[in-house]
Amino acid sequence: MTSTNTEVGHEAGAKAPFPPFQTETFASQLLWLALTFGLFYYLMSKIALPRIASILEVRSDRIAQDLDEANRLKDESDAAMAAYEQELAEAKSRAHNIAQEARDKAKTELDGTRASVETDLANKIAEAETRIGAIKTKAMLEVDGIAEDTVSSIVGELFGGKVTKAEIAKAVSGVKG
CA dist., res. 61 & res. 68, Å (int):
10
State the pLDDT at residue 67.
95
Domain extents for the chain?
A: 58-176
- Cβ–Cβ under 8 Å, residues 13 and 5: yes
Confidence (pTM): 0.40
State the pLDDT at residue 5.
45
Per-residue pLDDT in tens (0 to 9) along the chain, 177 residues: 444 444 455 555 678 778 778 888 888 889 999 999 999 999 999 999 999 999 999 999 999 999 999 999 999 999 999 999 999 999 999 999 999 999 999 999 999 999 999 999 999 999 999 999 888 888 877 777 777 778 778 877 777 767 777 777 777 777 665
State the pLDDT at residue 7.
47
- Cβ–Cβ under 8 Å, residues 148 and 172: yes
